[in-house]
Amino acid sequence: MSYLDLAARGKTFFWRYLATWVVAFIFAILLVVLVIVPLALTHVVSKDFATQMQSPDHPLSFYTGTGMTFGAVLAGFAAAIAIFHKKSPRDIIGDWRWPLFALGGIVWLVLLGIGTGLDVALRPGGFQWTASSLSAPIVLAALAGLGVQTFAEEFIFRGYMTQAFLHWVKNPVIASVLSGLLFGAFHIPNGIPQAFAATVFGMVSAYVAIRTGGLAATYGIHLVNNVFAAVVIVSTSDIFKGTPALWTQHTPDLLWVDVAFECVALGVVLLVFTRKR
């Protein structure tokens, strides 16, 4: 079944998409409150947990909070989509193939390695070995929290919204551009370079999701991207700055170079996943 067929499933009147966003976030807020408040009252988490989960300086709380928050958002959207669109999560996820998930992760890991090698060649003094600050619990918390976060974003942007745009415009390229612009807009608080990179990432990922018929490949790419940035090489110019990682990178002058390389790398992703098989 094509992505356009999935997009046409259920009820697709425009107002239902607006209602879904509103109700999904209401559900998410209620879920977070219903989970955190009892945990705080029973002293399972500290009274400062709500503050710590917003700070990378407290990695266990940060990653746990990330997983809880995005898990609540994911549940909120799944529930709201079922209510307003009469669609199941499977309709949004599409054709899930584990080989595509693995290929996405491997391809992006290789490209990240090449990009890192370029940065090291240009600014070898910009990298510091900081593995002593990393621990197994932090790595596991990062994998769990970022696993939920990236899947939630794929579900909402490459699944739900890309299908919505595709249903409205019936053109994969235009739908991908619109999806990428929306994804990039949500990253504006991270800074213009990151927002620009997220926009291109969103466009390419949306097109890959359309062409492959599901979220498997894009989730593999997105998960590897965020875990690498959080626990392998954390940049002092990134949202994960302050979290323990194997290396810490301080090369602010290479920020746009990295954005340019990411755009080239995403071109490679397009070639890998959209060529005729």
Tell if the pTM clears 0.85, that is, is over it: yes
Q: How far apart are CA 62 and CA 45, in angstroms?
A: 12
- Read off the pLDDT of residues 116-168 as tens digits, 9 standing for 90 and up: 999 999 999 999 999 999 999 999 999 999 999 999 999 999 999 999 999 99
Which residues constitute the domain of residue 8? 3-274
What total of structural domains would you count in the chain? 1
Residue 46: which pLDDT band, with cuts at 50, 70 and 90? confident
- Read off the pLDDT of residues 189-217 as tens digits, 9 standing for 90 and up: 989 999 999 999 999 999 999 999 999 99
With 60 as the cut, is the pLDDT of residue 276 above it?
no
- Read off the pLDDT of residues 232-274 as tens digits, 9 standing for 90 and up: 999 998 899 989 999 999 999 999 999 999 999 999 999 999 8
Q: How far apart are CA 226 and CA 192, in angstroms?
A: 18
DSSP 8-class letter at 160: I
In degrees and rounded to multiples of 5, residue 233 shows phi and psi of -135, 105
Report residue 102 as tokens: 């693995």
Q: How far apart are CA 37 and CA 40, in angstroms?
A: 5
Q: Is the separation of the CB atoms in 53 and 62 below 8 Å?
A: yes
| Distance set, CA 138 to CA 4, 149, 252 (Å) | 40, 16, 26
